[in-house]
Amino acid sequence: MANAPHFRRTALIVASALFMEQFDGTVLATALPSMARSFGISPLYMSVALTSYLLSLAVFIPASGKVADRFGTRRVFCSAIIVFMGGSLLCAQADDLPMLVTARLLQGLGGAMMVPVARLILMRSVAKEELVSAMSWFLVPALIGPVLGPPLGGAIVSYLSWRWIFYINLPIGLAGLVLSLRYIDNISEPVTGRFDWIGLASSGISLACLMFGLEMVSRGVTSPFASVSILGTGLVFGGLYLLHARSHPSPILDIRLMRIPTFRLSVIAGSLTRITGGSLPFLLPMMMQLGFGKSAAQSGAITFMTAAGSLLMKAAAPPILRRFGFRTTLIWNGLIATLGLALCACFRPSWPIAAIYGVLLVGGFFQSLQFTAYNTIAYADIPTHRMSDATSFYTTFQQLMLSLGICVSAAALHFSVMLQGHAHAMLSDFSAAFLTVTAISLAASPVCAGLPRNAGATVSGHRQTAEK
């Protein structure tokens, strides 16, 4: 097992991938209205620029663990960074929305291997009792990205061009690539049997159709029959995959992992919570610019407060989980985080700016604690030899739900505009969208109540504290 200095260095290096992805996503969200004007389309249609990337993640993430086991974690991680950089370069050259979507799909292919393998490298570098601290170190650079993203993205869009938000990825990726080649070991695992190509194809078609269908519904650009047909195809291939996975000795997404209670509850409750989390980077910048009439730079200076609150939380996560344990933290913190984000529905231009900052800062703090707890408890009881399978499975659903959050919020926004007869999205429409997604995440706390009181005690140290 790696010693502490080596572990921290490894965590920070592999977190460069998460930093690049999170930075890219938050900068892009701030730039969507400006990009829509450049392409000559409605800003509501720009949600596809976010979901196309998440769609590519959902399709290819299932293969990440198997590929890393076969070819080695460092080799796959570095190759993924190169692909992500190539996709970023093409995004910067896009002249219309279809070209941007194609480039974002390529970016997603890189991200699908980059972020899960980064997490896998970390999981194999630390003991389970250090997992909370490890995850906190890993997420620090990832949280700096969202902190810098909105204000820097707003400044870039206001004073340069939106294309520069993609060029920024190139030096970041190059630095991560050089450091990884120097300091990260190329760890591989024995691979038995053939690669599950049938599983990859069937799960990929299922996830692609479901995500594409939801995206089409959210934008209202296809007929009901076409939308239902796409979604139905996704469900059919999803059913075929489940039948295939039951008989395959090493399926691409191992559903048998759901028999582990802590992993199962983290997947289910975390999925509900991430619908809200995925909607925030899409709704908030749009609300600030279209509803409040603020510039991209002004919007970024406000929305970065959510990420700032997340960053403040990282030092607090280990003592909170040690004091209260995973079950209590996930139940009550989940309610606080959800209600805090629901307050965004009440935002109006008449609010003092300090009050908006306060809501976003506190909401980001509690939401980040919730995700840290989910990301840690998921792996608390996973055997070491199944860690790559668990990472692929969990990250697939994580990205799927983040993408679903964008689709749900975009659909709620679209239908509110239609029902109220508005020519374009207004503040009341954004309020309806915020309340829709936060209502979904409220269902996560009852699910978390199913955790045993001592769940993840070896990771959080809660049981040992209680016994003293």
pLDDT band at 452 (very low <50, low <70, confident <90, very high): confident
Q: What is the pLDDT of residues 147-194, one digit of tens each?
A: 666 677 777 877 788 888 888 889 988 988 888 888 777 766 666 667
Task: Tell me phi and psi for residue 193, to 5 degrees.
Answer: 80, 175
Mean pLDDT, the chain, rounded, equals 81
State mean pLDDT over 22-39.
77
State residue 220's pLDDT score: 61
From 40, 47, 455, select the one nearest 261 (Cα to Cα).
Answer: 455
pLDDT band at 6 (very low <50, low <70, confident <90, very high): low
State residue 267's pLDDT score: 92
Judge if pTM exceeds 0.75: no
Q: How far is CA 453 from the centre of its chain?
A: 28
Rounded to an integer, what distance in angstroms lies between the CA atom of residue 355 and that of residue 357?
A: 5
Asked whether the beta carbons of 402 and 209 are under 8 A apart, the reply is: no
State residue 333's pLDDT score: 92
State residue 136's pLDDT score: 66
State mean pLDDT over 350-367.
89
State residue 465's pLDDT score: 45
| Structure-model confidence comparison of residues 258 and 150, the more confident one | 258
In the block, tokens 């997340």 appear at 310
Q: What is the pLDDT of residues 223-245, one digit of tens each?
A: 777 778 888 998 999 899 999 98
